[in-house]
Copies of this chain bind each other. A is one copy, B any other.
Amino acid sequence: MTLTIYGCYRSRATRNVWLANELGLAYQHVPVIQVYRLPDPNAADAPMHTRSPEFLKVNPNGRIPAIDDDGFILNESLAINLYLARKHGGPLAPKDAQEEGLATMWALWAATECETHALNLTYHLAAYPPEKRDPAVAAAALAALPSPFAVLDQQLAQGGGYVMGGRFTVADINVGEVIRYAKPAQQLFDAAPNVKAWLDALHARPAFQKMWAARDSEAA
Contact = CB atoms under 8 A, between A and B. Distances in A.
Contact of A79 (B76, B108, B115, B151): B108
A102 B80 CA distance: 9
Given A76-B109, A108-B76, A111-B111, A60 B154 contact: yes
A101 B83 contact: yes
A111 B87 CA distance: 24
Given A72-B98, A97-B86, A151-B60, A107 B104 contact: yes
Interface in A64-83: 72, 74-76, 78-80, 82-83
A6 B148 CA distance: 20
Interface in A96-142: 97-98, 100-102, 104-105, 107-109, 111-113, 115
Contacts of A97: 83, 86-87
Contact of A78 (B82, B102, B108): B108
Report how many copies the assembly holds.
2
Given A87-B97, A97-B83, A100-B83, A108 B107 contact: yes
Interface residues of A, number: 33
Contacts of A151: 60-61
Given A97-B83, A97-B87, A61 B109 contact: yes
27 contacts: A60-B154, A61-B109, A61-B113, A72-B98, A72-B101, A76-B104, A76-B105, A76-B108, A76-B112, A79-B101, A79-B104, A79-B105, A80-B101, A82-B101, A82-B104, A83-B97, A83-B100, A83-B101, A83-B104, A86-B97, A86-B101, A87-B97, A104-B104, A107-B108, A108-B111, A111-B111, A112-B112
